Chain A
Amino acid sequence: QMQLQESGPGLVKPSETLSLTCTVSGGSMSGYFWSWIRQPPGKGLEWIGFIHYSGDSNSNPSLRSRVTISIDTSKNQFSLKLNYVTAADTAVYYCARGRVPSDDWGQGTLVTVSS
């Protein structure tokens, strides 16, 4: 079982860029897919996107124009950037190991979009 930890600002202004990093420990990133999932307060889970350790990635069509996911295996990290955020992007953001299934999850980090 690997451990994942999200980090980044908890408050982002509207129209700015949300940036989060997930640090992986307890194992190698090689051979796995790595995912970002979010959960608005009181709502369900929404898949954001995934990246393979090789760098191949894909994202939710509804977010694709605003999402960038990258990986740095030398640092055991992968990252999420979401541009032009609005209040609708306020959510707990989770990083996870795997695509379907996602076996190991971070504890999640709340990102609030507000001026």
Chain B
Amino acid sequence: QSALTQPASVSGSPGQSITIPCTGTSSDVGGHNYVSWYQQHPGKAPKLLINEVSNRPSGVSNRFSGSRSGNTASLTISGLQAEDEAHYYCNSYTSSVTVVFGGGTKLTVL
């Protein structure tokens, strides 16, 4: 199975909004609602930000939002803050009853 496609890096200034795309196929991102996003700071375990494409778990800031169009899911972070600088990963359930991750995107807050 192939990894989901994410840009290697994105950047934005404090207060701005950025969007990170995650592209898969109709067998994964486009075919199921089980698409999630994670934030990972250096040396730390990933933290769940978004589940089921667009649901925010309790305790996650409403500055984080998820959406999907066709085979591409997206994570949008609004009102960028310095502490948002981290790596972001998407993942998806697949029609083969497996799980696939995106390659990860490094967010730099300028």
Contact = CB atoms under 8 A, between A and B. Distances in A.
A44 B104 CA distance: 6
B45 A106 contact: yes
Interface string B59-100: 000000000000000000000000000010101110011111
B59 to A, nearest CB: 9
Most buried by B among A35, A105, A107: A105
Contacts of B91: 45, 47, 100-102
A105 B57 CA distance: 15
A94 B34 CA distance: 20
A114 B77 CA distance: 41
Contact of A58 (B36, B57, B97): B97
Interface residues of B, number: 28
State the majority secondary structure of interface residues on B: strand
Contacts of A58: 97-98
Interface string B96-110: 111111111000000
B18 interface: no
Interface residues of A, number: 22
B4 to A, nearest CB: 10
B97 A45 contact: no
A46 B103 CA distance: 9
Interface of B: 1, 3, 34-36, 38, 40, 45-48, 51-52, 57, 87, 89, 91-93, 96-104
Given A44-B87, A100-B92, A102-B38, 20 more contacts: A37-B101, A44-B3, A44-B89, A44-B102, A45-B91, A59-B98, A60-B1, A61-B1, A61-B96, A62-B1, A94-B45, A100-B34, A101-B34, A101-B48, A101-B51, A102-B36, A103-B51, A103-B57, A105-B45, A105-B46
